[in-house]
Amino acid sequence: MKTPSESDLLARAKELVHRMHDVERWAYAIDASVPAETRVGAVLEAGYVVAEEDTEARVVRYEAPAAGNAPPDALVTLERPDLGVVLLQAHGPTTVDRLGPVLERTGFVPQSRLLGRAYDVATPGASAALTILAHMVVLWDEDWADLFLLHLASPDPVVRHDAALGAVVAAFSARQVEPARSLLEEAARREEFPKLKQTLLEALHAVEGLAARDPLRA
């Protein structure tokens, strides 16, 4: 696969933002160096309130009331100190107006930078970048499939392992079973390491579980 140029990466990053708007779900990674009080303060000032919090999992769900009978806006943060980021996902009718000021306060890791790292599979940090990006797969397309295939076909078993777990995250983030299921099936057929093959099969089982819970996503 040809390594994308800087202009290709920037174009792809812009496309990801458009896709977020198309499905009305937004996902970003905030650098973990941003103080927690800055991040939380920005979210609260945008009109969100804490709805649920799991301190052990480092997950917080916020909600903001919407007009009329519309469901509330929702914003979820997941702290991933191992990846050096706080992952943020949001959806709802007034999310665009609320999320903009939050990101102005906190900043975010550019998708083009993450994509550049993820495509350079042989370098340290590529798997971490793919894991972060997995949370941004709000809609699968051919480019996403090619990127995950690149990692699942890596000669490094650690990279293949991380890609398998990332594919599960991406399937749940996109709320789509395919092409994650096909990618994992093919990777499992090729895999020669028994433990890694088991991991791939478990990842496949998790993705198929999504289809079982919601047949419309199959």
Tens digits of residue pLDDT in 173-201: 999 999 999 999 999 999 999 999 999 99
Give the pLDDT of residue 84.
97
Per-residue pLDDT tens over the stretch 136-172: 999 999 999 999 999 999 999 999 999 999 999 999 9
Nearest to 134 by CA among 188, 88, 171: 171
Could you tell me if residue 124 is inside a domain? Answer: no
Is 112 part of any domain? no
Q: How many helices (H) and strands (E) would you count in the chain? A: 9, 5
pLDDT exceeds cutoff 80 at 216: no
Which domain-ending residue is among 81, 106, 131? 106
pLDDT for res 214? 59
Angle at which helices 111-119 and 142-152 cross, to 10°: 40
- pLDDT of res. 57: 95
Where does the pLDDT of residue 67 fall: very low under 50, low under 70, confident under 90, or very high at 90 and above? confident
CATH code (residue 203): 1.25.10
Residue 81 lies in a domain: yes
Buried b (16+ CB within 10 A) or exposed e, 107-123: ebbebbebbbbbbebee
Beta strands at 73-80 and 59-64: parallel, antiparallel or unpaired: antiparallel
Could you tell me if residue 160 is inside a domain? Answer: yes
Q: Which residues pair with 79 in a beta bridge?
A: 86
**49 in any annotated domain:** yes
Q: Where are the beta strands (DSSP E) in the chain?
A: 25-31, 49-54, 59-64, 73-80, 85-91
For the whole model, what pTM was predicted?
0.93
Share of the chain above pLDDT 70, in %: 95
Q: How many domains does the chain have?
A: 2
- Tell me the CATH number at 86: 2.20.25.670
Containing structural domain, residue 99:
25-106
Residues 102 and 32 in one domain: yes
Least confident of 60-74, 113-127, 135-149: 60-74
Evaluate whether residue 15 is within a structural domain: no
Q: Which residues contact 191 (CB under 8 A, 6 or more apart)?
A: 160, 197, 200
Beta bridge partners of 52: 61
* Same domain, yes or no: 211 and 153: yes
